[in-house]
Chains A and B, each alone.
Chain A
Amino acid sequence: MGLWEHTVLEIQKMLKAKTVSVREVTEDVLDRIEQVEHSTRAYIHICDREEILEKASAVEERIQNQNTGGLAGIPTALQDDICTEGITTTCGSKMLEKFVPPYDAEVARRLLEEDCILLGKTNLDAFGIGASTENSAFYPTNNPLNKERIPGGAGGAAAAVAAGEAFFALASDAAGAIRQSASYCGLVGLKPTYGLVSRYGLITHAPSLVQIGILTKDVQDCAAVLNGIAGYDEKDGNSVATEKIDYPEALGEGNVKGIRIGILSNDFGMEIDPKIQDGIEKAAEAFENLGAQIESIRVPHLQYGLPAHLVIAAAESSSALGRFDGIRYGYHSENAADIEELFVKTRSEGFGKAEKMWMLLGGYMLQRGKGAERYQKALKLRAQLRKDFMQIFESFDLILAPVCPGLPPEKEKQMDEFLKVYQNYTCTAAANLIGLPALSIPCDIQQGIPIGVQLIGGFFKEGLILQAAYAFEQMQGGFQRKFNCNPEKLDAQKKNNTGNEGEGRERNEI
């Protein structure tokens, strides 16, 4: 078994016992990247091998000399919408293809302070608009578990962790990308409460909806990483100063006795695949067997969640992406005669189809008259939905819900069907609208495709969510290594099936 196959906690134990060195762990993961990256295409940018190894040696020394951070020596990946000082941060777009931020995102700063080893930046849909990485300006990422299927909106980060190209990754979740990708790739994915993790340095299209979150192999890893990134940041005006919680401690023995869990499997306003419903039922049963109180719940306005989310996300995009005008940084069209034309050409050439569609839609939603009326209605629905959920949390501790309405769609199937792509977020968008914490955890495999379930908690109830998730995971026998991929095998499989392997395989020079 390669070192890359282990979890963060396992590696930490080995480092502590000095059975391996940080350098060995890092080299093993770098080798793994070399081996499988051509097939997953999880990364947009991989840091220089020598520099990474130098950093690894430096951390090694610190580990020997003093107490280092809780995540010392763990090789990790950041989604490429999280700014990294001196390292290109493209946000998956041509617009920022050469953008090198002069600052670290707060989460990046905290991870580096914890002595994590940054391996590189992972692929995403340009500006986070999409649900598959197929809207990346560079190339789509493949789902390491099933190459025919999309890896979800945080696909690069999820693929990297699932394929053993990083021990964990941070990504962003504006509609459900982290949870969806976790579900599609057999991982644990957490979107924390809005305000728990600093958004400073996250490039986004939807500031009121997005939150930085975590993709890990199991629940314990998720808790450990959350410890490293959670907490007040004065650079984020919406950051909340909360009581410091030790999340690994909050896992306890994974006891859910007496916890009241509401099962939410209806009211989404669209059909949920029976295979997904099965998964939810199995999970509900499992929780009941663990001693939790299970009851079906209804959320009256849930069906309006996705349309309201769409209106708000689009509206915010039309404003958030305005700053890319070719003047101060980023893509700059060379053939403009005047300033008007510079704006138009830069934006026409630098943005992809999805961003343009989003911005046009959002611009309309903010326009005086019919558009703005819709936006106002969406804000009202958002407030109503919040009330609905707050009411539920008066009688329940957690909500168990699907992550996605169906199995991961096949690649390129949804590319031009804007709304269909968006519907993949049907079950996740409400948590973003309200700002609630939500986690996706594997619960089932159907035809070799993993399925996740979602646990949604009240504000800042990450501890409770992780505790329940941990109990569920323990009952399933812990982290399912069988979920872990073997891209080489999948490659061979695909070659036999289609015979056109190698097409468009050249890695773009970024």
Chain B
Amino acid sequence: MKYEVWVGLEIHVELLTESKLFCGCSTAYGAEPNTRCCPVCLGLPGTLPVLNRKAIEYGIRTGIALDCQIAKRSKLDRKNYFYPDLPKAYQISQYDQPLCEKGFLSLEDGKRIGIRRIHIEEDAGKLLHQEDGTTWIDYNRAGVPLIEIVTEPDIRSSEEAAEFLENLKQILQYIEVSDCRMEQGSLRCDINVNVQSADASERSEIVEIKNLNSFKAVAKAIEYEAKRHINLLKEGKNTLKETRRWDESKNQTIGMRSKEGAEDYRYFPEPDLSAIEIDEEWIAEIRETLPELPRQRKERFIKDYGLSSYDAALLTASKETADFFEEVAERFHDKKMISNWMITELYGRLNRSGEEIKDLKFSAQDFANLLQLIDNKAISNHAAKEIFREMYETGKAPSQIVSEKDWKQISDEREIQLLVGKVIEENPQSVIDYKNGKDRALGFLVGQAMKASRGKANPKIVSKLMKEMIEQSELK
């Protein structure tokens, strides 16, 4: 019997709003515990939530980017449960009228993964378990706005899941609603998984997997679960309706709690907030501010700039790099050269230093100027790399570096003739070797000339003149 794995994802994404969902506290990550709190997000009695419209806007932005239907009227609901990290003993979330519904995201091969719904909700605080057995609570995160994106169970493999998540993350970063830093918890993903036989006669119970802290873990957990489910079905058994967690160190899932008789969250409409009315005008306004999405941009890069699909994908991987490319492209004609320099030199430096485009000390104009210098043969490729290193580290303009270091390329033939003449004079044996067919000798001679110019001579011209002058010396 052949089995197919069915996967649906629930993704929680922290929004990049400056303040929390219901109060003015900062959402900045990494502050001292309990320093980003106020009576409202601590749920002190008598305090009231006031909705942050920006968070709703970000939710709608996401909905538009994922081709969802945006609700005309949405509302917030209370999800009631007791937990120490939940200050009000209820989470303000959305139940039956989510912000967005019925969208999709296309994979590279055109397959659509359905988006069932996107709703908005507040995050809870964080429990900090200490070694001595006590537990501390940090409420900095309490009230940070989240969207929960729920997919249809359309995913059929770990590869599809990984591709979906990569694409989703890229879109969310492109539309600037989240930084999607899994390691900081600003993107969290739970899986719902089961397997079905090809003829649908056998199917395992749906199992939920939590505690997945990377896309790799998501893929591994799906593979692990698929195997586990298939093995159980083959033995004539079935999975339990339960929640399991991924154990990274053991590379396996471990049962946490049963989902039979699941907790009743006693949802009801949030009485402290009125319904959210979303008119067409607002949606249109938000649509207008949406940037070009990654897939469209990549296609345009291929078409407009004549780049390979591979290079275009690399350059449009983030909005910042794509923006940077286009800024340089406005100022410099050779797009292929920009692409090469960005992918090899710039990405190389960024990777090594762990920095991002936004951290760059130089501008796109400087970068274009550098390429222009190379193109004008004002500097050698070798010198250009040195100049780039200096630009990257200090932010100095390339022209300034060139004049400071005296790295301007020598392309003047008369100047180079003098250099070459001297080298020929000083190395008669190599000249003879070259004449006798030892091509390597030419390399040595050119090298000597370059050395004499302290690298500044244009190697193409040196090489050309070297050949010409050796031939001339023969004629003598």
Contacts and interface: CB of A to CB of B under 8 A. Distances in A.
Interface in B263-279: 264, 266-269, 271-274
B432 to A, nearest CB: 91
A323 B266 contact: no
B254 interface: no
A366 B48 contact: no
Contact of B90 (A208, A315, A322, A330): A322
Interface string B35-74: 0000100111111111100000000000000000000000
A322 B45 CA distance: 11
B43 A316 contact: no
A366 B271 contact: no
Contacts of A91: 45
Contacts of A339: 84, 135
Contacts of B78: 319
Contacts of A225: none
Contacts of A327: 84, 137
Given A237-B48, A238-B273, A318 B266 contact: yes
Interface centre among A105, A234, A325, A339 (most CB of B within 10 A): A325
Interface residues of A, number: 44
Contacts of A207: 271-272
Nearest to B268: A366
B169 to A, nearest CB: 32
Given A200-B46, A200-B47, A201-B46, A237 B84 contact: no
Interface stretch (A50-58, A94-102, A262-270): A94-102
A237 B268 contact: no
Nearest to A102: B39
Contacts of A328: 42-44, 87
A329 interface: yes
A208 B271 contact: yes
A391 B169 CA distance: 52
A393 interface: no
A506 B79 CA distance: 43
A323 B87 contact: yes
B89 A237 contact: no
A346 to B, nearest CB: 11
A103 B45 contact: no
Given A102-B39, A208-B271, A318-B266, A325 B45 contact: no
A351 interface: no
B266 A200 contact: no
B82 interface: yes
Given A103-B39, A323-B89, A237 B50 contact: yes
Q: Is the interface of B mostly helix, strand, loop or mixed?
A: loop
Contacts, number: 95
Contact of B80 (A202, A204, A319): A319
Contacts of B46: 81-83, 89, 101, 103, 105, 200-204
A83 B273 CA distance: 20
B335 interface: no
A349 to B, nearest CB: 16
Contacts of A319: 78, 80, 89-90, 266, 268
Interface in A310-355: 315-316, 318-319, 322-325, 327-330, 339, 343
Nearest to B42: A328
B77 to A, nearest CB: 10
Interface in B124-156: 135, 137
Interface string B80-100: 101010011110000000000
B266 A366 contact: yes
A462 to B, nearest CB: 21
A185 to B, nearest CB: 26
A238 B272 contact: yes
Contacts of B266: 318-319, 363, 366-367
B374 to A, nearest CB: 57
Contacts of B43: 323, 328
Contacts of B272: 207, 237-238
A318 B88 CA distance: 12
B217 to A, nearest CB: 28
Most B CB contacts (10 A, CB to CB) among A315, A318, A323, A367 go to A323
Contact of B45 (A315, A323, A363, A366): A323
A96 B80 contact: no
A237 B49 contact: yes
Contacts of A481: none
Interface in A424-473: none
B48 A199 contact: yes
B47 A322 contact: no
B396 to A, nearest CB: 49
Nearest to B22: A237
A368 B263 CA distance: 10
Interface in A180-201: 199-201
A323 B47 CA distance: 12
A101 B42 CA distance: 12
B17 to A, nearest CB: 17
B82 A325 contact: yes
Nearest to A238: B274
Interface string B3-45: 0000000000000000000000000000000000001001111
B210 to A, nearest CB: 20
A375 interface: yes
Interface string B338-379: 000000000000000000000000000000000000000000
Contacts of B84: 325, 327, 339
A329 B269 CA distance: 26
B80 A366 contact: yes
A325 B88 CA distance: 9
A474 to B, nearest CB: 38
A377 interface: no
B336 to A, nearest CB: 55
B273 A237 contact: yes
A50 B42 CA distance: 34
A101 to B, nearest CB: 7
Contacts of B271: 207-208, 316
B51 A322 contact: no
A227 B82 CA distance: 41
Contacts of B274: 237-238
A105 B39 CA distance: 12
A91 B274 CA distance: 26
A325 B50 contact: no
B45 A235 contact: no
B29 to A, nearest CB: 22
A366 B82 contact: no
A495 B46 CA distance: 41
A236 interface: yes
Nearest to A202: B46
A203 B80 contact: no
Contacts of B42: 328
14 contacts: A81-B46, A83-B46, A89-B45, A199-B48, A208-B271, A237-B48, A238-B274, A319-B266, A322-B82, A323-B89, A324-B45, A325-B84, A328-B42, A368-B264
Closest 10 CB pairs of A and B: A322-B89, A208-B271, A366-B266, A207-B271, A203-B45, A201-B46, A83-B46, A203-B46, A237-B273, A323-B88
Given A236-B50, A375-B268, 13 more contacts: A89-B46, A96-B45, A203-B45, A208-B271, A236-B48, A319-B78, A319-B90, A322-B89, A323-B43, A323-B89, A329-B45, A330-B45, A343-B82
